[in-house]
Structure 1
């Protein structure tokens, strides 16, 4: 079985070494770049399954690298950065980052986020129409949802919102991105729409809507589906 290839783009030798040891011990194949330009070149030459990208690079910013990669790279990109302001996180996610993790980080959480990010793009590649998440099963062709094998009735908006979440499993989706995708560009500031529909959706799919396990709130940023 071929190992999943990971490209690390980070200028800190200690971080690269920590990531290399962690990833090799978890059966990944690792490539490393210490500048943005070198990272873009390695991504083009090796076509990794996932890229771990720092924002604070010595030659060009990680945001620039992300934008450059997203012109052609259609796999997972996880931001791993000390920059933890809401603006940096939202900008990166809106520019195409699959996920965002702040330094210092827990290796177990990073590995879990990586697995979710990789699965997301594998699902897209395989054109899967049946998405299963623990007790939930979403059929993208019949537009139906089952919970514990029982069909759950959803409104059109609830279904569209859940399908958007499911297709981006494990990724943080910003309020603005969700609003644009579901309600259109003109409604990107109407966060109340989103809160209401997330609330009704949680009542239908969560065992305890007050302690959700599927639709997770990322405070000040958006939501993550898992």
Structure 2
């Protein structure tokens, strides 16, 4: 498997792993599927998680970027777990809805927002403490990226429209961190992700505002 770990391309004077390029490309494909409320978004994203986990532990796998971003690597593990939940939830929604979309976009309630805000504050504090002691690069920024990513992924599974905005906030912090750490393809894709999340937010907002049919079209056809 050494060839898979070492395969890279030389770009602008730097060695860039093919795993990083391919993993981020697959991650973008997962985001596109998620915007279109396709259940396949979850298993596709899980493939990207596996690849990117090895990328962000550059020191462990002795790759060109020898900086370990433990928060970035750890979030791939958590992504995998939360994605399994999202896959199950969207599949169950589709099965129960007799052909209905896997999720119906909605705003989180005030109580849900307060709960998530408290969980985020606690999560960032704990992650910052842990990542600092692990020696992670940029521990505070890495802590927010880790916790914010989990919040956004959970929000997507639940159908919260706000999850797109959380992703934008993650990208704003992630781009400078990844540039400083030398993960240039990931930084570039974070910029693309940020723009895409704005598009996704507008798409889900339109779905949320769209008038719902008063009756089931299938029942009307029967009548």
Q: TM-score, normalised by structure 2?
A: 0.28
Larger radius of gyration: 2
Of Structure 1 and Structure 2, which has the larger fraction of its residues in strand?
Answer: 1
Of Structure 1 and Structure 2, which has the larger fraction of its residues in helix?
Answer: 2
Q: TM-score, normalised by structure 1?
A: 0.28
Greater length-normalized contact order (CA 8 Å, ≥ 6 residues apart): 2
